[in-house]
């Protein structure tokens, strides 16, 4: 449970960066991760705390980190930002937390067809009435209406 609590903010930020660039991975610096955590999620921590959280999240199997090291004749070993790859367990945790439902609502409210993503071709007529949006989201998630 502790790992899941520490994982959520990190997974949300890493997933957002990965989706933004259409990849299954991303490689932000630690400073950029801290900046995004503070700005988007109001989670403030030190670099040491970030590294502890990343270790716990990786050990729990939500995330994979790959260190990038380059050898240079003049400078010796040069450390670059790590590559972060969300594992299936990480995606499942995000889905349980409602990220999927939120994305569907956001897409519908922006006027995109549900599930069409960023490059959505067809715009919804009427621009997303709340009842239409909720009906569409419930249908997509398989939640039946009472009747």
Rounded average pLDDT over 111-124: 46
More confident residue, 11 or 112: 11
Q: Could you tell me the CA-to-CA distances from 32 to 27, 47, 89 in Å, in that order?
A: 10, 11, 24
Element (H or E) spanning 133, and its range?
helix 130-141
Q: How far apart (Å, rounded) are the C-alpha atoms in residues 85 and 64? A: 5
Give the confidence band of 142 by pLDDT, cuts at 50, 70, 90. low
Q: How far apart (Å, rounded) are the C-alpha atoms in residues 139 and 120? A: 19
Partners of 123 in the beta sheet? Answer: 112
Rounded average pLDDT over 114-141: 51
pLDDT tens, position by position, 83-98: 999 999 988 888 887 7
pLDDT on residue 147: 38
Residue 128 has pLDDT above 50, yes or no: no
pLDDT tens, position by position, 15-66: 999 999 899 999 999 999 999 999 988 889 999 999 999 999 999 999 999 9
Q: How far apart (Å, rounded) are the C-alpha atoms in residues 63 and 45? A: 19
Which of 1-15, 89-103, 107-121 is predicted with the least confidence, judged by mean pLDDT?
Answer: 107-121
Instruction: Quickly count: other Cβ atoms within 10 Å of residue 66's Cβ.
Output: 10
Which domains can be identified in the chain, with CATH numbers?
2-97 (1.10.10.10), 101-141 (no CATH)
More confident residue, 118 or 24: 24
């Amino acid at each position: 449970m502790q790992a899941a609590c520490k994982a959520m903010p990190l997974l949300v930020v890493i997933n957002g960066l990965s989706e933004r660039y259409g990849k299954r991975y991303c490689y932000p610096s630690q400073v950029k991760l801290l900046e995004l955590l503070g700005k988007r999620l109001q989670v403030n921590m030190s670099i040491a705390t970030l590294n502890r959280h990343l270790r716990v999240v990786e050990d729990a199997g939500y995330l994979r980190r790959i260190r990038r090291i380059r050898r240079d004749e003049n400078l010796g070993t040069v450390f670059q930002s790590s590559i972060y790859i969300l594992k299936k367990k990480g995606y499942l945790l995000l889905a349980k937390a409602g990220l999927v439902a939120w994305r569907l609502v956001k897409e519908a409210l922006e006027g995109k067809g549900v599930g069409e993503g960023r490059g959505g071709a067809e715009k919804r007529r009427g621009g997303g009435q709340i009842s239409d949006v909720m009906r569409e989201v419930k249908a997509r998630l398989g939640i039946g209406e009472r009747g």
